[in-house]
Structure 1
């Protein structure tokens, strides 16, 4: 009976958690049930208002501490056309909890999807979300001048572009970055939209309504210059921060050749990197949130975000 009551409380709270505001706190009993279920409640902030969307971020904070927490930013995937920060704990909960246990704060950010606004909106939004955290770091007890960015799939693309262009006057920055990227982790993200060609097994990238065409507003086959402008490989240079890359060999959405291309580009520029091709792993495979890979990401974070 007791277990059923706790389960009911958890279910009721989880159903409503997506509509929680910063000022709203869960009932004490619900909070206790959540702690028992090893769940984590973020602080939610609106960081930007646009004509098509009011954009929010979820800030997961480590246990209360006197020293400001160093910041990791997570960018969700979804082919630039779907997905949300609300999926972070479901898909990457092990990673988030592991970083929190080491004292890092993790911000999961929303951005305008391709049905709401075309390139460069999503990149602008991720940049603006980090600038918001920098501007409010004292209030939020953060140390956000130096950041590690991470993401999966389309989020891996956005994180990689933000990281490689951080030291450049890139055309898509409507406001200059007020932070320094000191590392990037890319899970199976596309890094060169022009080279994302043909049929990868599950996706025809040459189709006029392919995800990257919707993201750009035009097919990369029709506008090579724009595709290159929106690609992480374009901005790699000697000042690019270290990268950690993971990709599955059975990825039918984004071919693993995208990650080997990124690795080659980083190598040519003399940038520290690691790339791991996971045999048999598919796009968005849950294996990437297991301890084997999460522990590597945590070590990378500790090495570069000191």
Structure 2
């Protein structure tokens, strides 16, 4: 047995051991042969919430464009496997079409209030950008996809990436990576606009927005504005693809339309897709039509 064969066998064994750290139900969402790198720390600490997973296509002749997966959960629950099983058609298609996926954890609002969450997301992408060679990723073609609270974070990353807001970055310095596309599933886009659906006596326990900001948006509209993706929309923002169910009782669909309108007014490419009969999440977002829209969007702006 020659040295190259021994090394190949070792590599297969090693990557297999790594993949074993990922739950089997998540592994089964990806095409056979997908290379999996679990639980990679992206910050200089040991926090579980500062880890990410990378999934790389089995067969690739060049570096893979990268899609950053950001889970939902009201900023206070969920993890880097969140929303994946509801989107198994899309997950499989991403890898099958040559895109790598990195799913990230971020700190909950129960342990660190805003802007900790957007700071973590930016730090995770900065880590992936700086380590792209190691994982055979195309650092110049990065998109973000998020669901609910993750959709909000994806949108905020996309609109604020060129605004140099020091509070959004872990080292108070804007990183050099660029977001080339944003896919937002039913994320809240504007906390000021959302005030209209809140009661005067809404407390911290009743509102995920209040828990995120550390204060009621109605009492701290200054914070609500700073935290809203719509605040940062300008002509240099990346293209957006926005999905929202017309039966959503958690995040008003008007917030997605508002973001779409702001983007269009700034001459940013935006496609707003209303999903009939869909509520806040669920399998109605896991369809061939939605999958195809996502792949076309990524092929257009990342390849």
Alignment TM class, shorter chain as reference: 0.7 to 0.9
Q: CA deviation at 1:208?
A: 3.1
- For residues 145 and 36 of structure 1, do their structure 2 counterparts lie closer, same or farther at Cα, with a shift above 3 Å needed? closer
Deviation digits for residues 109-148 of structure 1, max 9, x if unmatched? 1100111211111100000001101111111111123311
| Mapping of residues 122-271 of structure 1, within 5 Å | 122-170=117-165, 171-175=167-171, 176-199=174-197, 206-209=202-205, 210-271=207-268
Q: Give unpaired runs (5+ residues) of structure 1.
A: 1-20
Distance 1:22 1:113 in 2: 30
Deviations 1:5-54 (A, max 9, x none): xxxxxxxxxxxxxxxx9783468xxx9xx779967663111112458655
Note the C-alpha offset of 1:196.
1.2
Farther-moved stretch of structure 1 (253-262 vs 140-149): 140-149
Question: Residue 67 of structure 1 aligns with which residue?
Answer: 62
Give the superposed CA RMSD. 2.6
Secondary structure, counterpart of 2:273 in structure 1: strand
In the TM superposition, 1:48-127 aligns within 5 A as 48-50=43-45, 53-127=48-122
Partner SS, residue 138 of structure 2: strand
Distance 2:259 2:231 in 1: 10
> Which secondary structure state, in structure 1, belongs to the residue aligned with residue 175 of structure 2?
coil
> Residue 82 of structure 1: SS of its match in structure 2?
coil
Normalised TM-score (structure 1): 0.84
- Over 3 Å counting, the alpha-carbon distance change for 1:41 and 1:77 in structure 2 is farther
* Partner residue, 2:7: none
Distance in 1 of aligned mates of 2:128 and 2:212: 26
TM, length-normalised to structure 2: 0.85
In the TM superposition, structure 1's runs of 4+ consecutive aligned residues that sit over 6 Å from their partners are 34-37
Residue among 292, 299, 302 paired with 1:302: 299
